[in-house]
Amino acid sequence: MQTEPLDRLFTALADGNRRAMIDQLGGGPASVSDLARPLDIALPSALKHLGVLEASGVVRSEKAGRVRTYSLTPDAFAGLEAWIAKRKAQWNAQFDRLEQFLDRSDA
């Protein structure tokens, strides 16, 4: 697995404002103004955050006239889910080996 897309995703998720935007977009598409308003941030700041989210593949945008609307990208977290699943499997295997060792020690 390439680490660059995962690194971009972790960077995007590291900021609370960006996570709040993702949460808001879970309810459906929204304009930049709609996303900036509850966070009490200026539109240029919101655009910068949305640029990071778009570069990471979490959101996509469409422009109609003067309004840019953002929405979540389907399967945006697939790479993250795969990374977590791999680590979980490794940890579970280690715990299984520990359990086997402890069972042998008790016997």
> Which of 40, 18, 21 lies closest to 31 in space, CA to CA?
21
Q: How far apart are CA 84 and CA 25, in angstroms?
A: 23
Strand order in the sheet with 59-64: 30-31, 67-72, 59-64
- State residue 35's pLDDT score: 97
For the segment(s) 1-73, the CATH number from 3.40.50.2000, 1.10.10.10, 3.60.70.12, 1.20.1080.10 is 1.10.10.10
Averaged pLDDT, groups of 10, the chain, 107 residues long: 84 97 97 96 97 97 95 92 92 86 82
Q: What is the pLDDT of residue 97?
A: 86
pLDDT on residue 2: 66
Residue ranges of the domains in the chain? 1-73, 77-107
DSSP H helices in 39-77: 43-55
pLDDT score of 39 = 97
